[in-house]
Amino acid sequence: MQGTDHTMESQTLEIADLTCRFGAHRALDAVSLSVGAGEFVSILGPSGCGKSTLLRSIAGLEAVEGGTIRIGGQSVDGLRPRDRGVAFVFQSYALYPHMSCAENIAAPLRMSELGPLGRLPLLWRLSGRMRRTRESIADRVGATARQLQIEPLLGRRPAALSGGQRQRVALGRALIREPALFLLDEPLANLDAALRNRTRTDLRALQRRIGATTLFVTHDQTEAMAISDRIAVMFDGRIHQVGTPDEIYRDPETLAIARFFSQPHLNVVPAATLRRHIGGATAAGDIRIGGAALEGMAGVVAFRPEDASIRTARRPGLPGLPCTVDHAEHAGHDANLFVRLADGETAVVRIRSHEIADWPQGAEGVLHFDLDAARRFDAPQGEAETPSRAREVA
């Protein structure tokens, strides 16, 4: 992408105690978040957790029950959506169906810079000022289209575009306003996998160049990790953790976050079960997980398949869990080996795919895992007594 870039004055965003209710259901529950000028922050969470509602509240499209929103230090509470200086890219793109792409992209400028008279057909020709404004709008539409490489599409209607092209037009309509704040609601969700990867890289490069503060909603944790400065993880209308992709990946604060960042599998074993299998100590001393001694530990221990390994015999001096192989799932370079622990619980181990043949069903082995990478969590409600399982997180 080349051409005249839009340079925007990026602004900070501060949200404090934002609450939004639909009937009895709290879609947002005291959400607080600070975003620095020019920062790219992803809102990550499962479907229905309130991501769109958060973005819509910031844009002023949803009436909030309480809390404050400041953009560039100024409270925008009570301001109309158009006056908040934010641009929104909707998941469905929300292009105006009966307007051409050029008219779609020009719409925000036409509304803000042309008076009602200037928008009438023909009449604008009478006034030199209106003519110049129109020309300036057309120039900026052209520049934006060049930047997004959609110039050949400008004359078409949205119905005649592919999903990726529509997405770019929607982006153009947002860009052309030179907003203080970009709100992107799953803008990549409707693209196929290859296009999604390429577009997310483009999107981030574009955002770096124009330096606009950006909130990016997604329910795909790899996408969030790939392009964010920071990620805010949301569940049930609350933000559970905010941090860099690395912080959240390594140190998830709750089991739910750990599961979300370990898709498709996370091994979760109650601390008591673990103790029964491997004891509280080895010759080298106390076993410690996440800084606490396993001896007397409550809750559950979680570790990722890639932090686990399986061997035919116990490595001397290290704690291991005896297990029986159930089946393997090929995943290209690697494979996921499903094993059954001594008392019937399932765990998943990441092996190289060429090793699948070494582990036929029923083979006996010992499961080791990296104690430093394992984390302890409070047992989730109602799950403390049930056997641990490798969970598929939807």
Partner 1 sequence: MARALGWTLLCLAAAVTLLPFVYMLAVSFAAQGTIYSGALLPAPSLAAARENYAFALTEVPLARFMLNGALVCGVLLVLQVTIAAPAGYALAKLPFRGRPVLFGAVIVALMIPMQVPAIPLYVAIAWMGLLDTYTALIAPFVISALAIFLFRQFFVNYPSEVIDAARLDGFSELGIVWRLMVPAAWPAVAAFATISIINHWNDLYWPLVVVTRTEMMTPPMGLAAFRSSGESAGNVGALMAGGVMITAPLVLAFLFFQRALVRGFGMGARA
Ligand X SMILES: Nc1ncnc2c1ncn2[C@@H]1O[C@H](COP(=O)(O)OP(=O)(O)OP(=O)(O)O)[C@@H](O)[C@H]1O
The angle formed by the CA atoms of residues 265, 270 and 276, to the nearest 5 degrees, is: 125
Binding status of residue 55 toward partner 1 by CB under 8 A: no
Alpha helices, H only, 33-127: 51-59, 101-113
In whole angstroms, how close is the CB of 183 to partner 1 at the nearest point?
Answer: 9
59 binds, among ligand X, partner 1, Mg ion, none (CB under 5 to 8 A by kind): partner 1
Task: Choose from ligand X, Mg ion, partner 1, none: what does 373 bind? Cβ within 5-8 Å by kind.
Answer: none
Report if residue 81 touches partner 1, rule: CB under 8 A.
yes
| Residue 219 touches which of partner 1, ligand X, Mg ion, none (Cβ within 5-8 Å per kind) | ligand X
Burial-class residue 175 by CB neighbours within 10 Å (0-12, 13-18, 19+): buried
Residue 81 per-residue DSSP state: G
Considering only residues 89 to 128 of the shown chain, the ones binding partner 1 according to CB under 8 A are: 90-92, 94-98, 107-108, 111-112
Cβ-proximal residues to 25 (8 Å cutoff; 6+ apart), any chain: none
Report the residue number, 31 or 55, with the smaller CB distance to partner 1: 55
Our finding on whether 42 is near ligand X (CB under 6 A) is no
Segment (H or E) for 88: strand 86-89
Task: List the x/- string, 12-31, binding to ligand X by CB under 6 A.
Answer: ----------x----x----
Q: Which option in ligand X, Mg ion, partner 1, none does residue 53 bind, with CB closer than 5 to 8 A by kind?
A: ligand X
Sheet architecture: strand order including 308-311: 308-311, 364-369, 321-331, 334-341, 346-352
* Site for partner 1, rule CB under 8 A: 56, 59, 61, 80-82, 86-88, 90-92, 94-98, 107-108, 111-112, 173, 177
* Site for ligand X, rule CB under 6 A: 22, 27, 45, 47-53, 219
* Site for Mg ion, rule CB under 5 A: 52
